[in-house]
Amino acid sequence: MCAREVLIAMCRVHFRGFSLNGKFNSSHLLFNTGKVTFDTDIAEVPFDIHSCKRDYAVIHDIFHPVFWDEENNFCPLHAEHLLHFLFTCPAGARSNSEGVIAYLTNHMALKSFMERISICTNLDGMIHRLIGQQELDFTTQVAHPYWFEQMEDVPAMWKVLSYNAGYDATGYIYNYEESVGQLMHFAKNFFTHAPNNLRMEEIEAAFSLATSESNMLPNLLQQVACQFINPPPPADFCLVKLLGDNMALLDEEEH
């Protein structure tokens, strides 16, 4: 099963202003040359928060046994966060907006390690370009993680974190702050300056695993999709372009 294509199929219905009201199961998913559609016998209802939650719940129940290894109590990187998003429907009535759809259909659990590196690097630049009220809106609406401790525990990451750092009686004084923007800036520096004997896949894995307990990257993007909306973010802070434009797929007519 291609999880992204299933999510796109559901979001295509939501984007048109309808939902399936949870009245479907995996047997109603039709796979055709990489595209997923729903059985046309399923009646659509107007989209609202309640019908959306019911659709999310069904997709959650379809995905859960695929992602979750009950015997070993194991879930792939970021997949547990994706399941929790579907279980809770945190965007509510805004779940059919472009930003939330872009976030869900490009969730970090569905991305390759190179795509996650690109997202971190681009997000660093997007946050850095926020100025004045835009920067204030972002810092007000998006929670700041505490991330130094996670990086200090990984030798290769601590080497980048402590580069040119000061030192006093309280310990190291890093050239970073414990903020979202500085976390992304550190990520970009780590991807660039990590030890040469590490492959890019290992470098990204180190960052993702160091931040996996708090799901920093998917949580950050979720906050941007669900909270950084009033007032709306500047035009160049576009989550759809950052994560991958699936909106064209959502505009396709279902056959």
For 199-209, what is each residue's pLDDT tens digit? 999 999 999 98
Do residues 76 and 149 share a domain? no
For 96-141, what is each residue's pLDDT tens digit? 998 899 999 999 999 999 999 999 999 999 898 888 888 888 888 8
Do residues 140 and 227 share a domain? yes
Residue 216 within any structural domain of the chain = yes
Do residues 168 and 135 share a domain? yes
Do residues 28 and 144 share a domain? no
Alpha helices in the chain (DSSP H): 3-15, 49-67, 79-88, 98-105, 113-128, 132-141, 148-152, 155-161, 180-193, 200-210, 216-226, 239-243, 247-250
Task: Round to whole Å and give the CA distance between 230 and 226.
Answer: 10
Question: How many Cβ atoms from other residues are within 10 Å of residue 210's Cβ?
Answer: 19
pTM of the model: 0.88
pLDDT attached to residue 170? 76
- Specify the number of domains making up the chain: 2
Residue 252 within any structural domain of the chain = no
Give the DSSP letter string of 176-224. S-SSHHHHHHHHHHHHHHS-TTS-HHHHHHHHHHHTTTTTHHHHHHHHH
Residue 249 within any structural domain of the chain = no
Residue 229 within any structural domain of the chain = yes
Do residues 1 and 37 share a domain? yes
Do residues 134 and 204 share a domain? yes
For 189-202, what is each residue's pLDDT tens digit? 999 999 899 999 99
User: Would the CA dihedral through 141, 144, 145, 147 be positive or negative?
Assistant: positive
Do residues 156 and 227 share a domain? yes
Do residues 26 and 68 share a domain? yes
Task: Round to whole Å and give the CA distance between 35 and 50.
Answer: 26
Task: Round to whole Å and give the CA distance between 170 and 92.
Answer: 44
Do residues 148 and 220 share a domain? yes
For residue 212, which of 116, 101, 138 has the smallest C-alpha distance? 116
Residues of the chain with pLDDT under 70: 1, 229-231, 245-255
3-state SS, residue 157? helix
Residue 104 within any structural domain of the chain = no
Do residues 41 and 141 share a domain? no
Residue 50 within any structural domain of the chain = yes
Residue 31 within any structural domain of the chain = yes
Do residues 234 and 120 share a domain? yes
The last residue of a domain, from among 96, 124, 158: 96
Whole-Å CA distances, 159 to 113, 153, 162, 210: 22, 10, 5, 14
Domain containing residue 216: 112-243
pLDDT attached to residue 52? 97
pLDDT attached to residue 1? 53
Residue 101 within any structural domain of the chain = no
Beta bridge pairs of residue 35: 32
Do residues 45 and 127 share a domain? no
The last residue of a domain, from among 31, 64, 96: 96
The last residue of a domain, from among 49, 67, 96: 96
Tokens of 199: 């492959």
